[in-house]
Amino acid sequence: MLKYNIRGENIEVTEAIRSYVQKKLTKLEKYFEDTSNSTAHVNLKVYSDKTAKVEVTIPLPYLVLRAEETSPDMYASVDLVTDKLERQIRKHKTKINRKSREKGFNNVQVKDDNEESENGFDIVRSKHFSLKPMDSEEAVLQMNMLGHDFFIYEDAETDGVNIVYRRKDGRYGLIESTED
């Protein structure tokens, strides 16, 4: 059973909203054998124009599900984001099942330091994540599922850290690390 971390920005997360989000996201559990160690991170935002944005991130041991939706109604945004996550799962079900059998993870941590660095750049946000062994095809799949323009991963064959990215022409690029 998924655990839930539900936060609100410019909105109080009422028990009604909390239970609605949990009810909708619980439907996704049917696609996975074990979600007991996973936490769904849900961020609810209301903007000054009264639109509601819902962002959901569910890190699983072998993939990260992420979607966001904005609409005039908070409950409609929850419905839309749940539908989007379900479509992602169904669309990539075969690849997810094949890749989920791979084992072994390396933890990578970026220090959370909001002080201005020596070179004058101000770090305003830090993230912690695990690099998962995969091939470049799965990395592109993960990047597209997350809606990002790049994705960092550990190459399953070389154990090196690689980056796939979306080029301006719509195709993909690969940056491979070396131990020189």
Q: How far apart are CA 126 and CA 75, in angstroms?
A: 30
Q: Of 53, 82, 98, at which residue does a domain stop? A: 98
**Model pTM?**
0.56
99: amino acid identity, one letter: K
pLDDT in tens, 41-89: 999 999 989 899 999 998 876 678 889 999 999 999 999 999 999 888 8
pLDDT at residue 32, as a whole number = 73
Total domains present in the chain: 2
Pair (75, 120) in one structural domain:
no
Pair (128, 167) in one structural domain:
yes
Q: Of 70, 98, 126, at which residue does a domain stop? A: 98
- At residue 99 the predicted structure's pLDDT band, cuts being 50, 70 and 90, is low
Cβ(136)–Cβ(171) below 8 Å: no
Tokens 């609100």 belong to: 8
Domain extent for 156: 103-176
Cβ(146)–Cβ(66) below 8 Å: yes
pLDDT in tens, 110-164: 223 333 444 456 676 777 777 888 999 999 998 888 888 899 999 988 888 999 9
Pair (76, 116) in one structural domain:
no
Which of 105, 93, 10 lies closest to 53 in space, CA to CA?
10
